[in-house]
A and B are shown apart, each in its own frame.
Chain A
Amino acid sequence: MNAKQIDQQTLLQNETDPLTHTPVHLLSLDKVGKHYGNIVALTDVTMAVDNGRVTCVLGDNGAGKSTLIKIIAGLHQHDEGVLKVMGEDRKFTSPRDALDVGIATVYQDLAVVPLMPIWRNFFLGSELTSGFGPFKSMDVEKMKDITKHELAEMGIDLRDVEQPIGQLSGGERQCVAIARAVYFGAKVLILDEPTAALGVKQSGVVLRYILQARDRGLGVIFITHNPHHAFPVGDRFLLLKRGKSIGYYEKKDITLDELTAQMAGGAELAELAHELEQLGGHGDVVKEVKGEVAEVAQTTGKAYS
Chain B
Amino acid sequence: MTITQTQTKTAAPDERVAKRSPFQKLLGRPEVGALVGAIVLFIFFAVVSPTFTQPNAFATVLYGSSTIGIMAVGVSLLMIGGEFDLSTGVAVISSALTASMFSWYFSTNVWVGVGLALLVSLGIGFINGWILMKTKLPSFIVTLATFLMLTGLNLGLTRLIGGSVSSPSISNMDGFASARAVFASSVSLGGVEVKITVFIWFALVAVATWVLMRTRVGNWIFAVGGDANAARAVGVPVKATKIGLFMAVGFCGWILGMHNLFAFDTVQSGEGVGNEFLYIIAAVIGGCLLTGGYGSAVGGAIGAFIFGMANKGIVYAQWNPDWFKFFLGLMLLLATIVNLIVKRRAELK
Query: CB within 8 Å of B: which residues of A?
Result: 1, 107, 109-116, 120, 123-127, 129, 136-138, 140, 142, 145-146, 148-150, 152, 157, 159-160, 183
Contacts and interface: CB of A to CB of B under 8 A. Distances in A.
Given A126-B235, A138-B216, A148-B10, A116 B226 contact: yes
A146 B3 contact: yes
A74 to B, nearest CB: 13
B164 interface: no
Contacts of B14: 157, 159-160
Contacts of A137: 210, 214-215
B223 interface: yes
A94 B220 CA distance: 22
Interface string B259-301: 0000000000000000000000000000000000110000000
B233 A107 contact: yes
Given A125-B234, A149-B9, A160-B14, A113 B216 contact: no
Nearest to B4: A149
Q: Which of A107, A125, A149, A152 has the most CB of B within 10 A?
A: A125
Contacts of B218: 138
A159 B18 CA distance: 9
A110 B229 CA distance: 11
24 contacts: A1-B1, A109-B230, A111-B233, A113-B222, A114-B227, A115-B222, A115-B293, A116-B223, A124-B219, A124-B223, A124-B231, A124-B236, A125-B236, A127-B216, A129-B215, A137-B210, A140-B214, A145-B3, A149-B3, A149-B5, A149-B6, A157-B14, A159-B16, A160-B20
Interface string B203-223: 000000010001110111011
Interface of B: 1, 3, 5-7, 9-10, 14, 16-17, 20, 210, 214-216, 218-220, 222-223, 226-227, 229-231, 233-236, 293-294
A165 to B, nearest CB: 10
Chain A, interface SS category: loop
A116 B219 CA distance: 9
B311 to A, nearest CB: 32
